[in-house]
């Protein structure tokens, strides 16, 4: 039941460790591409921003975070990514599903379950990670998904995400920009 992408346009995925780097890294990736382009960033749906503002007194678990992340990815596909591809644009999804898979692996969730959650997500044509040097201080929870998860799980998860992405680069599934 993966959503089908239009034949026009190109979808590129990009993962970053610091949410504040998302747009600059996407712009860097798009620099060499001619024609119209677009960027789809985390939390376009506003789910996480709104949740952060609630005083619920409880933190979501990794499973709950992944379900919410999937809802946000679906929203982005429906409202941003697919319409831009239909217009023939090159779209950078920053982040895309590998960030979700990374959280699953870090939290020890079964890979099969995570794959099923993202069953609807079409594959990007090319996948990249940004070559960043983590700043000493973790950005705020609404700056990026990794920051949001770090806050919910009460630990800086950047080194674990970095190690997951490094592994993808080593296996040749990712390119570094």
Partner 1 sequence: MTESAELLTRRLCDQIQKKEKDRGLLIAFEGADGSGKTTQRKLFKQWLVGEGHQVVTTKWNSSRLIKPIIKARKNLRSINQEEFCLLHAADFRHRLETEIIPALIEGKMVVADRFLFTALARDAARGLELDWLLHLYSPLYWPDIVFYFSVSPETSGKRIAATRTPKYYEAGQDVTDINDPFESYRQFIGRVIQEYEALAVIFKFITIDAEAPIYDQHLVIRKLFQESRERPWPEWNEEAIRDWANMQPRSREVGVGS
155 binds partner 1 (CB under 8 A): no
Contact track, partner 1, 101-120, x by CB under 8 A: -------x----x--xx-xx
Alpha carbon distance 13, 16 (integer Å): 10
Min dist CB 19 to partner 1, Å, is: 20
Among 78, 88, 159, 167, binds partner 1 (CB under 8 A): 78
65 Cβ neighbours under 8 A, 6+ residues apart:
103, 148, 149, 152
Please tell me the number of Cα atoms within 13 Å of 32 on its side-chain side.
Answer: 3
Specify whether the CB–CB gap between 51 and 64 falls below 8 A: no
Tell me the H-state helices in the chain: 22-30, 47-53, 62-76, 82-86, 97-107, 111-117, 145-153, 158-170
Q: Which is closer to partner 1, CB of 67 or CB of 173?
A: 67
Min dist CB 56 to partner 1, Å, is: 4
User: Given the DSSP bridges, would you call strands 10-15 and 90-94 parallel, antiparallel or unpaired?
Assistant: parallel
Among 7, 31, 32, 57, binds partner 1 (CB under 8 A): 57
Q: Which of these segments, 54-62, 85-93, 97-105, 135-143, binds partner 1 (CB under 8 A)?
A: 54-62
Among 9, 19, 38, 62, binds partner 1 (CB under 8 A): 62
Q: Which is closer to partner 1, CB of 113 or CB of 176?
A: 113
Alpha carbon distance 92, 117 (integer Å): 21
- Residues forming contacts to partner 1 in the complex (CB under 8 A) are 1, 45, 47, 50-51, 54, 56-58, 60-64, 67-68, 70-71, 74-75, 78, 108, 113, 116-117, 119-120
């Amino acid at each position: 039941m993966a959503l089908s992408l239009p034949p026009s346009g190109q979808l590129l995925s990009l993962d970053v460790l610091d949410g504040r780097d998302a747009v600059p890294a996407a712009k860097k990736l798009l620099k060499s591409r001619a024609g119209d382009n677009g960027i789809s960033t985390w939390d376009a749906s506003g789910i996480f921003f709104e949740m952060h503002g609630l005083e619920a007194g409880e933190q979501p678990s990794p499973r709950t975070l992944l379900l919410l992340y999937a809802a946000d990815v679906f929203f982005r596909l429906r409202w941003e990514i697919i319409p831009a591809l239909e217009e023939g644009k090159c779209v950078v999804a920053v982040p895309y599903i590998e960030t979700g898979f990374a959280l699953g692996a870090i939290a020890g969730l079964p890979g099969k379950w995570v794959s099923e959650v993202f069953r609807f997500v079409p594959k990007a044509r090319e996948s990249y990670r940004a070559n960043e040097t983590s700043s000493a201080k973790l950005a705020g929870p609404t700056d990026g998904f990794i920051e949001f998860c770090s806050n919910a799980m009460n630990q800086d998860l950047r080194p674990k995400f970095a190690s997951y992405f490094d592994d993808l680069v080593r296996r040749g599934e990712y390119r570094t920009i």
